[in-house]
Structure 1
Amino acid sequence: MPQASSTATKRGAFTRFLDTVEYLGNLLPHPITLFALFAIGIVLLSGIASYFGLSALDPRPGGAEIEVVSLLNAEGIQRIVTGLVTNFTGFTPLGTVLVALLGVGIAERSGLLSAAMRGLVMNAHPRVVTVAVVFSGVISNTAAELGYVVLVPLAAMIFHSLGRHPLAGMAAAFSGVSAGYSANLLIGTVDPLLAGITTKAANLIDPDYYVGPEANWMFMFASTFLIAIMGTLVTERIVEPKLGKYDPKEATINLKEQTIEPLSKLEKRGLIGAGLSFLALGGLLALTIVPEWGILRHPETGEVAGSPFLKGIVTFIFITFAIPGFVYGRITNVMRTDRDVIDAMSDSMSTMGMYIVLVFFAAQFVAFFGWTNFGSILAIKGATFLQDVGLTGPAVFILFILMCAFVNLMLGSASAQWAITAPIFVPMLMLIGYAPEVIQAAYRIGDSVTNIITPMMSYFGLILAVAVRYKKDTGIGTMIAMMLPYTIVFLLGWASFFFIWVFGLELPVGWWGTPTYYTP
């Protein structure tokens, strides 16, 4: 009895914690409103801080005193009025994400991404179906909505067809799509988005510093397999045994009507054609960067680092999705004319309305934060504090990852969270010697692992609706309790992998030559 009472007490405490997180999250305004308020707040604070003479001494050799620049005066208002449009149009993530999504839109509209996902999961051997589901979830985050909408329900159906608990399949897919959000084999749309924000933040310390979309590619490539393995182990060793044997009477749908359509011959032909076109594109691209005379190597050094290839990686994301997508659509008769391609790109842009509005206000906040020198001053004072307490070694990333994971519970958007935190933490950690690329990689771990346990995540309601189909009494608490083991294992395992990769093996997080440490 005492043991049961203790267990009930722990569950009650955990439930209260989750209720508190949900309550605090609901108190937050919409991210767009949040950025608008932050932008206004920066203007007001700049006037107050300037009046009281807030400043910090630049620690670099020959550094001068950095003072807060007020935006709450005539010059400040003039700068805001004249810079409002250019802040928006010059915000790096805006153009890069939109261009990348043009290509992804073609591949998605043609059916290529859905067919590839179905083929990978449905053709997997029953013994490896779990790892195939988690792995498919991770690589599906190139087009995140597709993973949530297609893979999660499909995984539940596949597990049920194999006599396994459908919620275990749903949980495995959800963990891959969302908790492994930043990992992938390819450079996707999230990479240029985060890299653009990181560049803006790094420029507060080093105006010439550039963070490319490939900044975390090697680490995220390796993380894909790590997440697949961890997700499989959690599903088969913890989640599925805890769920127990599935009772079909708990379903709210007719399970006999749940059918899984295998790939048709035409879809298989389309996948072969798309695969061949992808290989052809890869071969042509290799000719431009592998040989020493490659036209996309750096024109002066001849290296791949800093080359037009890496700086123009968004162009290749567009091409490598658009052309195979069109080939697939052409073979399957989904895309026959240029009008079909144009419609696909238009549809992908039509879904970006909310993002564009968000970027407008985020761009103003980031610009105002830089103009006022708040970023530099907070970074210097924060770095000085870390040095005073002796927290300048790799251990600082433990606190950073945990902080990002906690903030993500209440602010689920990766771009929104990073746009707020990057201008403070990127310069701060640069000043104690770490490169922006490494800081961004650590952020992506914290930002990903708690996606699956926060009701603030935009697709949480959709996943809950899928769960209710198979178990009618599933609630938010049930969902969070089921997904919590993934969060704990992913957080511990992925963070440990980060430390081993970066500080143990001393491998770059991005392309070869990507720095780990920052030297002014």
Structure 2
Amino acid sequence: MKNNTEKLSPFRKLLFRALDGIEWIGNKLPSPLLLFAILAFTVIVISGIFSGVSVTNPTTSEVVEVKNLFSLNGLDYIFNSAVENFIAFPPLGAVLVTMLGIGLAEQTGLIHSSLKSIVFGVPNRLLTAALVFAGVMSSLAVNAGYVVLPPLGAVLFLGLGRHPLAGLAAAFAGVSGGFGANLALTSTDAILQELTADAARTIDPAYADTITVTMNYFFAAASVLLITVIGTLVTDKIVEPRLGKYEGEEEENLEKLTVREKRGMRLAGLGFLVTFAIMVYLSLGPLRGDGAYIDSPFFNALVFVIFVLFFVPGLIYGIVSKEIQNDKDLTTLLGKTMASMSGYIALAFTAGQFIAYFRETNLGTVIAFNGAEFLKNTGFTGTGLILTFMGITMLVNFFIGSSSAKWTILAPVFVPIMMNLDYSPEFTTLLYRISDSVTNMVTPLLLYFPVIIAFAQRYDKKIGIGTLISMMIPYSVAFLLGWLVLLLVWVLLGIPVGPGAPISY
């Protein structure tokens, strides 16, 4: 990593050296594709060593046992599930479908023209904050922010003559931190509320019935400003200075919009508004469904919605700019987009095997329950209990990437423990959300981590896991410290974490 340390303070020089060391160690690891293959093989071996080790779910009394893949039955599973593991790799379809829309907008020049419009119309000093804020709010669209914002952030920074990886990192940090902060309610709130209420019901059924989807809203809304400010400062003061000047082949000088580009932008913008209006109608009408909005057919199809919202304006702009004159031109541009994703597709194969093996062996579940049992046996109370619980959650996040999957395992254990120590279920859930969010961006087991690496490699083909983790660690640490300070203020003032959701039980 090239960086200019001549004008830096002693603290930042020391910090940069430490991050350089982390990057060096991390990049000594094999390529991400090979690393996931090695990890998949390692899981197979470990499952054989710990075969038969089991834990008991204290709520359901279900026994979960490590399944041995280092056996004839395991070999049968490995061979017969390989294709399915690849196809079922959660981000694969979402990334490819979304990138078809974004790619067309990029190939036709719409994103390039939009970028120029932003560069010449928005103050540079506001762009980092706007990008982080957009990342935080993107959790409204579940995981779509991981696919859309990091590549756009990189392009935006590049157009401003800034380092594209800094833009990618800022967006990634905002999206990851956004799962613990938002100005609106999201599907995550609904999922966690259900799991928390079920866990609390084992101690106090009457109280469990009062737990609502808004249980963490006050704290989550206040956290939006916190994450936006911290994310902006870390990007501008640490991450981008450490990256230094970008000298890649993608760098270019932006000129003002031409008459044709302006006309294409106007018509593409009109196409976007019409498409957006149709989507709003569908979301409130034919695709509204009978249940909660966040469980509606429309909400469950957000990946396709995002594809359409990019595809239609991109198609219109391509026709106006003469980049698309017939169906063959359209096919060629879409093919170029998919060709640019070939490295990610190959990576998804080995990553999909690893994720599937880890889930099939139950190793993550056993680790999580043992961590919960450890907390129960510590005898900690107060600050020690809170910090230990958060530490265990952050550790578990390195083994189980899904937020809802982790809470499905941890809530039945931690919520009753914390209630017996006078902490409300809502407060326990808040601690979980903070711990989960701050470690999402530094765990290779996050399902979208390979996606971010693939986007980053468009600007630096040699980038490895070490480079990405070293970029994201400052955000992770800063978010954690900032949230701990805000949490302390919240506890000292006794502010409810949400409507009718006190800290104490």
TM-score w.r.t. the length of structure 2 is 0.64
1:25 maps to what in 2?
26
**Partner of residue 99 from structure 1, selected from 89, 93, 97:** 97
Offset at residue 318 of structure 1 (A): 0.9
CA distance in 2, matches of 1:488, 1:220: 18
Q: 2:86 aligns with which of 75, 84, 88?
A: 88
Q: Distance in 2 between matches of 1:66 and 1:460?
A: 38
One-letter code aligned to 1:311: N
Alignment of 1:38-437 (within 5 A): 38-50=39-51, 53-61=52-60, 63-124=61-122, 128-132=123-127, 134-135=129-130, 142=148, 144-148=150-154, 150-156=155-161, 176-177=170-171, 179-180=173-174, 182=176, 229-230=229-230, 260-290=254-284, 294-299=285-290, 301=291, 303-389=292-378, 390=380, 395=387, 399=391, 425=406, 428-431=409-412, 432-433=414-415
Q: Distance in 1 between matches of 2:158 and 2:487?
A: 31
Aligned-partner Cα distance in 2 for 1:488–1:375: 24
The Cα offsets for residues 297-353 of structure 1, whole Å up to 9 and x where unpaired, read as: 224x3x313111111111101111100111122222222322222222211211222
Taking a change above 3 Å as real, the CA distance of residues 47 and 21 of structure 1, as seen in their structure-2 partners, is same
In the aligned structure 1, how far is the partner of 2:289 from the partner of 2:333? 34
Contact 1:378/1:428 (CA < 8 Å) preserved in 2? no
| 1:108 alignment partner, SS class | helix
Q: 1:152 to 1:289 in 2, by over 3 A?
A: closer
Aligned residue identity for 1:55? S
Aligned to 1:471: none
Give the letter aligned to residue 132 of structure 1. L
Per-residue CA distance 1:408-463 (angstroms, 9 max, x = gap): xxxxxxxxx78778799555544435999996885454445999xxxx97888998
Aligned equivalent of 1:517: none
- Judge conservation of contact 2:47–2:68 (CA < 8 Å) in 1: yes
Q: 1:310 to 1:497 in 2, by over 3 A?
A: farther
Q: Once the 2 structures are TM-superposed, how far is the Cα of residue 144 of structure 1 from its aligned partner?
A: 3.5
Q: Give the whole-Å Cα distance in 1 for the aligned partners of 2:443 and 2:50.
A: 35
| Structure 2 counterpart of 1:211 | none
Structure with larger RCO (C-alpha < 8 A, sep 6+):
2
Summarize the Cα distance change of 1:93–1:352 in structure 2 as closer, same or farther, 3 Å threshold.
Answer: same
**Contact 2:283/2:299 (CA < 8 Å) preserved in 1?**
no
Q: Is the 8 A contact 1:107 1:321 kept in 2?
A: yes
Relative to structure 1, the CA distance from residue 235 to residue 445 in structure 2 (aligned partners, 3 Å threshold; closer, same or farther) is: closer
The superposition leaves residues 15-71 of structure 1 with CA deviations (integer Å, 9 ceiling, x where unpaired) of 653343133213322222221112111222222212xx411112223x233222212
Amino acid at match of 1:97: V
Alignment check: 8 A CA contact 2:174 2:231 kept: no
Counterparts of 1:34 and 1:100, CA distance in 2: 26
Q: CA deviation at 1:484?
A: 9.4
Distance 1:33 1:436, change over 3 A: farther
**Aligned-CA RMSD value:** 5.3
Alpha-carbon separation, structure 1, partners of 2:317 and 2:359: 45
1:288 Cα deviation from its structure 2 partner: 2.0
Aligned to 2:4: none
**What is the SS of the residue equivalent to 1:305?**
helix
Q: Distance in 2 between matches of 1:132 and 1:342?
A: 34
Return the alpha-carbon distance in structure 2 between the equivalents of residues 252 and 286 of structure 1: 40
Q: Which residue type is aligned with residue 331 of structure 2?
A: I
Count of residues in Structure 1 that have an aligned counterpart in Structure 2:
417
1:147/1:427 Cα in 2 relative to 1: closer, same or farther (>3 Å)? same
Identity %: 30
5+ residue gaps, structure 2 = 1-7, 136-145, 179-187, 200-217, 416-424, 445-451, 462-466, 500-505
SS of equivalent to 1:105: helix
Cα distance between partner residues in 2 of 1:155 and 1:398: 39
- The answer for unaligned runs of 5 or more in structure 1 is 1-6, 157-166, 185-194, 207-217, 244-249, 408-416, 466-476, 509-520
- More deviation in 426-435 or 258-267? 426-435
The 1:402–1:384 alpha-carbon spacing in structure 2 relative to 1, beyond 3 Å, is: closer
**2 CA distance for matches of 1:40 and 1:264?**
55
C-alpha distance in 1 between matches for 2:11 and 2:96: 46
- In structure 1, the residue matched to 2:143 is none
TM-score (norm. length: structure 1): 0.63
Would the aligned equivalents of 2:358 and 2:364 in 1 still touch at CA under 8 Å?
yes
Deviation at 1:179, TM superposition (A): 4.3
Q: Is the 8 A contact 1:131 1:231 kept in 2?
A: no
Q: In structure 2, do the counterparts of structure 1 residues 177 and 75 end up closer, same or farther at CA, with 3 Å as the change threshold?
A: closer
Alignment of structure 1 residues 442-457 onto 2, 5 Å? 443-448=436-441
